[in-house]
Amino acid sequence: MIDAISFSNGTLRYLDQRFLPPQENYVETRSHMEAIEAIKTLAVRGAPLIGVAAGYTVVLGLQSFNGTKEEFPAYFDRLIADVEASRPTAVNLFFATARMKEVYAGNYTQDTMEVLFGKMLATAISIHNDEIANCDAMARHGVELIRQDLGHILKERRLTVLTHCNTGTLATGGSGTALGVIKHAWNEGLIEKVITAESRPLLQGLRLTAWELEQENIPFFSISDSSSAFLMQKGMIDFGIVGADRIAANGDTANKIGTCAHAISAHYHNIPFYIAAPVSTLDITIQSGKEIPIEERNADELRTIFGTQVATPTTPVINYAFDVTPNRFIRGIVTEKKAVTGNYSEELKKLID
């Protein structure tokens, strides 16, 4: 049983994903600054799990407060700002901090600090439990969509699916978003094997998704990110499904760098390409993917592989963590409420209204 994150007795416990699969290192901390650093350094990663971690990180920050009630508003504002600065692209983080801010705004005046903190802890736990439930609902809707779109193939054989990065328990705390759909489809007898793209530069697909699939005893093989178009050309991939860090109002989707290339190749080969993400990933304040802030990370993530230098330290590097897949390359967006397959601008808004 994978335990990606938990909170008990004022302590946050998480599996440091930077060291998987060779080492399963669990870290315990009561420091909100250490928790923020874990999010920044990808020790904790995956949009939904970042949201869960953000809620618990705010709670850790509250535990560290030792001032007066009058001093608390300024402290709380700084705490929220520090948490929100940790990762700019994953909207789930901001969804979590928004919920914590709502609790503060609605209860600060009348509650004692102890009662207020208790309500915030309950909210952080609720965010975590919601993500677990969302994964289960998403899996059901995803399998329904697969049956609907690929039923003609399923009459003859089981399917081979491509996925990118990691979207399972390690990214959500539940069964997963895209990988949760895949696991459910496997249990339903729809999947023959999974193809996981390596997901350079940090190899989340090769390290993390492969490790999760091994834990679940689901057949798979890993490929280089640049191999997917050739495999589609050879008829070795039936559909693709990935997660998302932010989805714009029109359905344009930001996800791990490399996703857009897979989606364009799938579109060219008339292969369905799906997104699976909770409603908390939708950002209807952003009209298109052009407005999504894209994180650019340290160049050494590309110049080195697990501490081994593979390029000179002076090699110029552009290291974007995400790309944006335009909505025309996406066959459907699966959420915990329903799967949307057309007119994203209207249908996605309905999920929030």
- Long-range CB pairs of 63-69, under 8 A, 24+ apart, other chains included: 63/10, 63/30, 63/32, 63/117, 64/31, 64/32, 65/113, 69/113
**Any idea which residues carry the catalytic annotation?**
245
297 is in an annotated binding site: no
Residue 63 Cα to chain centre, angstroms: 27
45 is in an annotated binding site: yes
204 is in an annotated binding site: yes
255 is in an annotated binding site: yes
**What is the rounded CA–CA span in Å between residue 119 and residue 122?**
5
**What is the rounded CA–CA span in Å between residue 247 and residue 253?**
4
200 is in an annotated binding site: no
- The helix (H) or strand (E) run that includes residue 255 is strand 253-256
350 is in an annotated binding site: no
- Selection from 83, 77, 42 nearest residue 60 by Cα: 83
133 is in an annotated binding site: no
CB hemisphere CA count around 2 (13 angstroms): 24
> 288 is written with which tokens?
């298109």
> 37 is written with which tokens?
């650093």
Which parts are annotated binding residues for substrate? 45-47, 87, 204, 255-256
Which parts are annotated binding residues? 45-47, 87, 204, 255-256
